[in-house]
Amino acid sequence: MIDIKNGRITFCDISLQLSPKYLKNNFQNEFPENRVVRSRDMGNGYIWYDIKEQIYKNDNSIRISICFNPEGFLEHIKLFPQSYGDPTSSWSDWTPLQMQEDKKLCDEWLKRFCKLKSEKNYFNWGTIYSYFDIKSGCSGIGINYI
């Protein structure tokens, strides 16, 4: 569940809650290692972890990417509620039309679960937004913590 009042994300299956000021060390100690699909060290202090979890009980497990900044704090979360399949697929596997359709699914997901109506929603803890990025070849939902 995403609590838009404070930016906390709680996973249905495990007792883990992501939030602003959440630390990479906590993630590494608390999150089940066998549920991490892959990790990506960007070589500049930023580390991404790809996982697949369920956020809402009446929705499927979705692909989630979380990013820790060089100071070790959780900074970005990307949600992919549409069915992308293999997380290692290339951007060239997608067409602009497919990405636009995927963005519509992301917009609908935000409306359904978070009751948010605009593409970019600002809160005192950060932002939630849907996006369509032709350069990266994907559409998704972004959460940025301040």
Q: What is the pLDDT of residue 99?
A: 79
Whole-angstrom distance between the N-terminal and C-terminal Cα of the chain?
20
Distance CA 55, CA 90 (A): 26
Q: What is the pLDDT of residue 93?
A: 65
Supply the pTM of this predicted model: 0.86
Asked whether the predicted pLDDT for residue 144 surpasses 60, the reply is yes
What are the pLDDT digits (tens) for 36-95? 999 999 999 999 999 988 888 877 888 899 999 999 999 999 998 875 444 455 556 667
> For residues 12 and 21, is the Cβ–Cβ distance under 8 A?
no
